[in-house]
Amino acid sequence: MRTGVFFYYQKGERLRDFPQALEGILEKTNVFLYDAFYPSKPPSSFELEPISSEVLCQIHSRQMVEEVRETGIFEGALLSASATVRAAEKIWAGEIDNAFVFTGYGDHHAGTCFFGGGCYFNGAAIAVRVLRKEFGAKRFAIIDTDAHHGDGTWEIFEGDLDVLYVCFCSLPNIEKNNNINVHIPARITNEGYLDLVRKDFLLRAKTFQPEILFWNYGYDGTQGEYGDIGLTPEFHILLAEELKTAAGDIALGRFITVLCGGSRRDLSRYLIPRIIGVLAKE
């Protein structure tokens, strides 16, 4: 597999060890780093090109884009979303097979006209529109395993029959067109959660036949995190393996992992290199 790592350097606790913590992974011949402005960029890395305001407005209202501009973190929000869009374009063009996207500002709480919860632009949603409009892609699946409800992604795709969006969170089971919410209890085991993913996402995705799979990957449900539902770190690695296998079976291996919630530096340092390792494995 050729794996793209889309990295955006940002001050702060959770990604403070990166990209250094990817030592041994970035050196692999099948792993490619796309980087915005990490100061001592490895010579083999590629530029991460920001998307235009026109592209942002394929999902978000002009007024919302202006509101984000006024927050003072526009550039970081733009590069976070740009990384997901560029990953999707490169996968579709066959330059890489799958990708891990580091984000400074996440995705799934950003809707057509609203944002919040550390999310400003919805990178996965913009990527879907770009693939559809510019590349003729037709069917998409998004699995959201962040501990919180992806209200932005839900709103954007509620009426879109060509996007299967399955969100696992504390809200009740809901089904509207191809938006599915799967209730996760306040405490759950790794195996209990994986069973729900198999039953409520993987089976559906097999029938739905998406051409590309997005994973809104939050680790905030891990023990000791702010959305603790009892999962251990191993859970995310097992899930990455299952999703990568599923992408191989149903979507020609096209698979984008987008980093969402989670705050602990020790967990990101443990999990992210291992998940990229799963992606880059043959």
Q: What residues make contact with Zn ion under the rule CB under 5 A?
A: 146-149, 167, 169, 171, 181, 218, 220, 261
Q: How far is the CB of 143 from Zn ion (least distance, A)?
A: 11
On whether the CB atoms of residues 122 and 143 are closer than 8 A, the answer is no
| CB 113 to Zn ion: min, Å | 20
Minimum distance from residue 209 beta carbon to Zn ion (Å): 23
Q: Report in angstroms how near the CB of residue 116 gets to Zn ion at its nearest.
A: 12
**Quick one: 3 or 268, whose CB is closer to Zn ion?**
268
Q: How far is the CB of 181 from Zn ion (least distance, A)?
A: 4
The residue type at 11: K
Residue in the shown chain whose Cβ atom is closest to Zn ion: 261
Comparing CB distances to Zn ion, the nearer of 127 and 167 is 167
| Closest CB to Zn ion among residues 60, 149 | 149
Whose Cβ is closer to Zn ion: residue 149's or residue 254's? 149
Rank residues 79 and 259 by Cβ distance to Zn ion and give the closer one: 259
